[in-house]
């Protein structure tokens, strides 16, 4: 009985092998089809072709997966709101058939200043950037924005704080508890950069030190002009 089962399985394998050998073209096309379907499924799951037309189109798992979205900066608002157009890496749909995308970005955990807003206009306006979503609202994506500088990507949020052009947002204990892991890591980096900028007196943290009045040139000047100043006071008082 066992020998009968072995013979049946071997005969089935032989029949399948003979069928594949006799239909090489069909077998090759079948393998190509399976590969194309697998590639399409992988690309779709990766999000490379997902078009983001507004803030509500950003998937929530982008925050957890720390996905960086490629986009083009169209405008920078006075309050630091960055208006971008999403440009995916794989553009399957022709441009004329694609819906117009317009995503509003805000720098996460950074209080923008007029100086910082001007820096944004001079640095990233009409350039390709990548934004990493950290929090979502109905109309705005609070993001960590990155741009190319010297062959590597730098964070706009960190640059502004590091150069003393903006401050880190002050959060209440209740707000700190609601931060996600990416937000907590970003906040830790920004606070470290702000501390360094304060110590080095960068940007708004620069302290205009008063000149030391007890230097040697000041003493010589005081000795020379003190009799003249004393005589002027006497004249003003007694010879009016």
| pLDDT tens per residue, range 167-217 | 999 999 999 999 999 999 999 999 999 999 999 999 999 875 444 455 666
Residue 209: its pLDDT value, please?
47
Same domain for 95 and 134?
yes
Residue 91: its pLDDT value, please?
65
| Confidence band, pLDDT 50/70/90 cuts, at residue 146 | very high
Residue 235: its pLDDT value, please?
64
pTM of the model: 0.68
Torsion (CA) 145, 119, 185, 45 in degrees, nearest 10: 0
Same domain for 146 and 92?
yes
Q: Among 61-75, 84-98, 110-124, 125-139, which stretch is predicted with the lowest mean pLDDT?
A: 84-98
Domain count, the chain: 2
**What's the domain range around 13?**
2-46
Answer yes or no: is 238 within a domain.
Answer: no
Same domain for 114 and 36?
no
Residue 160: its pLDDT value, please?
97
Same domain for 28 and 61?
no
Answer yes or no: is 224 within a domain.
Answer: no
Answer yes or no: is 171 within a domain.
Answer: yes
Answer yes or no: is 164 within a domain.
Answer: yes
Structure tokens at 68: 């960086």
Tell me the C-alpha distance between 172 and 8, whole Å. Answer: 74
Answer yes or no: is 169 within a domain.
Answer: yes
- CATH number reported for the structural domain that contains residue 141 in this entry: 2.40.50.90
78 or 115, which is more confident: 115
Tell me the C-alpha distance between 73 and 128, whole Å. Answer: 6
Tell me the C-alpha distance between 58 and 33, whole Å. Answer: 31
Answer yes or no: is 228 within a domain.
Answer: no
Q: How long, in residues, is the chain?
A: 240
Same domain for 90 and 20?
no
Tell me the C-alpha distance between 222 and 83, whole Å. Answer: 59
pLDDT score of 222 more than 50: yes
């Amino acid at each position: 009985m066992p020998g009968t089962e072995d013979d049946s399985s071997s005969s089935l394998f032989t029949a399948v092998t003979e069928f594949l050998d006799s239909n090489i073209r069909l077998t090759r096309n079948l393998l190509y089809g399976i590969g194309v379907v697998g590639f399409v499924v992988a690309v779709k799951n990766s999000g490379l072709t997902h078009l983001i037309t507004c803030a509500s189109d950003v998937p929530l798992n982008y925050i957890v997966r720390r996905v960086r979205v490629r986009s083009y900066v169209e405008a920078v608002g006075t309050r630091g709101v960055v208006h971008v157009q999403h440009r995916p890496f794989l553009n399957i749909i022709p441009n004329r058939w694609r819906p117009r995308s317009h995503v509003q970005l805000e720098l996460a955990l950074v209080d923008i200043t007029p100086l910082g807003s001007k820096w944004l206009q001079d640095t990233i306006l009409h350039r390709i950037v990548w934004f990493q979503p950290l929090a979502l609202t109905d109309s705005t994506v609070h993001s960590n924005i990155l741009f190319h500088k010297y062959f590597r990507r730098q964070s706009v949020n960190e640059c502004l704080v590091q150069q003393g052009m903006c401050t880190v947002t002050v959060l209440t204990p209740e707000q700190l508890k609601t931060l996600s892991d990416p937000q907590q890591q970003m906040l830790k980096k920004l606070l470290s950069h702000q501390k360094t900028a304060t110590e080095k007196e960068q940007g708004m943290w620069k302290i205009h030190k008063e000149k030391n009045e007890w230097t040697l040139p000041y003493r010589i000047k005081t000795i020379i002009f003190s009799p003249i100043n004393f005589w002027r006071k006497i004249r003003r008082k007694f010879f009016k």
